[in-house]
Amino acid sequence: MKTWFITGTSAGFGRLLTEKILARGERVAATLRKPDALDDLKAQYGEQLWVAALDVTDTAAVRRVVDQAFADLGRIDVVVNNAAYALFGAGEEADNEQIRQQIDTNLTGSIQVIRAVLPHLRAQGGGRILQLSSEGGQIAYPNFGYYHATKWGIEGFVEAVAQEVAPFGIEFTLVEPGPARTNFGGGLVHATPLPAYDATPAGDVRRGLQDGSFAVTGDPAKMVDAMLASADQHPAPRRLTLGRGAYDKIRAALVQRLAELEAQQAVAFSTEADD
């Protein structure tokens, strides 16, 4: 029986993961900003569910809550770093506070959760971290630039840290869902649109979200099942791509990137020092 630590459990993937894990008899340490959102599950599952208030932008609180979870529950087998949201707007439309909050939550918050759990995972001889990224950790849509900055950023951080902690038996999986039928869209923070972008790709994406033509085809329950299954895979998959659209777009981006790299081989080699 596994014990899980999950951030951002009030809705979306975090809530679904918590429900499914509890239903199969395992323990969950669930964190969220408003703990009463899980009162129904607490009433149903009792001591099987450990709940704590946590805003991942509060680094001191991250350390305190993580330490308490390990103290109360002992071994935690899987950490799911899930808390995040998206700032929606073209690059020059967002204000400074919106940018800061996006980075503090998605990137710095995720980094600090990882930093807080690593000493405990080392001490217990290993564990698994599922880092929620996105197809947007490898591709990009107009109007999501700041969200992409955090997802590309956390992927780079995980790629480095995974190598550092592999000798301790700690493994990472970057989870990369495509658009899913969660409340993700309802949780968007919107920058103030500038009329100058109406006739640009940024305007096209804005209209696509408004009129429903921006395709959202992913089944959240099926995606969560795939995440749960990945936690039993050994060795851990470094990336878990979820959704046909995500697979197709990421593959096309990687093929294009590789072609562009190979076209620059001669230039790259020509810049080596002569000695």
Among the listed residues 177, 52, 47, the one whose alpha carbon sits nearest the alpha carbon of residue 116: 52
First to last CA, the chain: 58
Catalytic annotation present for 147: yes
**Burial tier of 244 (Cβ tally within 10 Å: 0-12, 13-18, 19+):** exposed
Is 133 a known active-site residue? yes
Catalytic-labelled residue, pool 10, 110, 133, 134: 133
Q: Phi-psi category of 121—alpha, beta or left, where left has phi over 0 and alpha has psi -120 to 50?
A: alpha
Q: What's the CA gap between 132 and 101, in Å, rounded?
A: 18
CB 238 within 8 A of CB 173: yes
Q: Is the peptide bond before 193 cis (omega within 30 degrees of 0)?
A: no
Catalytic site residue 151? yes
Which residue in the list 151, 197, 230, 249 is annotated as catalytic? Answer: 151
Collect all residues with Cβ–Cβ distance below 8 Å to 142 and sequence separation of at least 6. 90, 200, 201, 202, 204, 205
Catalytically annotated residue among 45, 141, 147, 197: 147
Helix (H) or strand (E) holding 21: helix 12-23
Q: Where in the sequence numbering do the catalytic residues fall?
A: 133, 147, 151
